[in-house]
């Protein structure tokens, strides 16, 4: 994995050494309004990050790519992640501490990751599953060119009734 740069931030391949600072970032309760929960302890997060340094799923079929997001001030503010599957398919996710919402930073980080996925991992089709009530996440995806998947695709991907599947195809140059 490589460091990815964007105008106002840097994406660093996530490693166990990020756990202490990321534990503080990820303890923001606003992040979990719709789903998930904060990490239970720094040690838990360090162990999780150490495992993820393999960059592969346990069976080795998927690439699990995680980058932490760093501001020029050197502060960490969140992460972006991608699961890269066969035939150029990837699903993405992202979390930022709420003090940094509303500035376009998440969009910038996700767009930078997408550029890396397309340019370096041959990704041609992107998807994201989000809670239907998560308007901020939906707006972010729409801004980046994602559109709601069809009802058939929702069924095929076993999307829960309170969730949405959004997709974006990458046009070949």
Ligand X SMILES: CC(C)(COP(=O)(O)OP(=O)(O)OC[C@H]1O[C@@H](n2cnc3c(N)ncnc32)[C@H](O)[C@@H]1OP(=O)(O)O)[C@@H](O)C(=O)NCCC(=O)NCCS
Contact 68, 22 (CB under 8 A): yes
101 touching ligand X, by CB under 6 A: yes
**In the complex, residue closest to ligand X by CB:** 104
Rounded to a whole number of angstroms, the minimum distance from the CB of residue 103 to ligand X is: 5
Number of residues that bind ligand X (CB under 6 A): 21
Q: What are the respective helix, strand and coil percentages of the chain, to the nearest 5?
A: 35, 30, 35
Give the x/- contact pattern for ligand X in 2-41, rule: CB under 6 A. Answer: -----------------------------x--x-------
Return the C-alpha torsion angle 87, 4, 37, 57, nearest 10: 40
Among residues 130, 149, 159, 165, the one that binds ligand X under rule CB under 6 A: 130
Among residues 41, 47, 104, 115, the one that binds ligand X under rule CB under 6 A: 104
Rounded to a whole number of angstroms, the minimum distance from the CB of residue 108 to ligand X is: 7
76 touching ligand X, by CB under 6 A: no
Q: Give the H or E element holding residue 77.
A: strand 76-84
Among residues 67, 94, 127, 149, the one that binds ligand X under rule CB under 6 A: 94
User: Which residue, among 133, 58, 67, has the nearest Cα to 94 in the 3D structure?
Assistant: 67
Among residues 27, 83, 134, 153, the one that binds ligand X under rule CB under 6 A: 134
User: Which residue, among 129, 82, 101, 128, has the nearest Cα to 28 in the 3D structure?
Assistant: 101
Q: Render the burial of 96-123: b for 16+ CB within 10 Å, e for the rest.
A: bbeebbeeebbbbbbbbbbebbbeeeeb
114 touching ligand X, by CB under 6 A: no
Interacting residues with ligand X (CB under 6 A): 31, 34, 93-96, 101-107, 128, 130, 134, 136-137, 139-140, 143
């Amino acid at each position: 994995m490589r460091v990815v740069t964007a105008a106002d931030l840097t994406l660093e391949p996530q490693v166990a050494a990020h756990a202490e600072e990321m534990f503080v970032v990820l303890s923001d309760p606003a992040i979990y309004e719709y789903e998930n929960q904060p990490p239970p302890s720094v040690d838990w997060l360090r162990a999780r990050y150490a495992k993820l340094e393999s960059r592969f799923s346990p069976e080795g079929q998927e690439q699990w790519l995680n980058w932490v997001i760093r501001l020029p001030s050197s502060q960490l503010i969140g992460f972006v992640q991608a699961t890269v599957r066969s035939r150029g398919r990837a699903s993405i996710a992202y979390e930022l501490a709420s003090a940094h919402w509303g500035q376009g930073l998440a969009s910038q980080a996700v767009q930078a990751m997408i550029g890396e996925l397309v340019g370096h991992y041959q990704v041609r089709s992107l998807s994201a599953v989000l809670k239907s009530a998560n308007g901020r996440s939906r707006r972010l995806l729409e801004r980046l060119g994602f559109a709601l998947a069809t009802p058939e695709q929702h069924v095929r991907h076993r999307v829960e009734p309170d969730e949405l599947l959004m997709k974006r195809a990458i046009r070949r140059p």
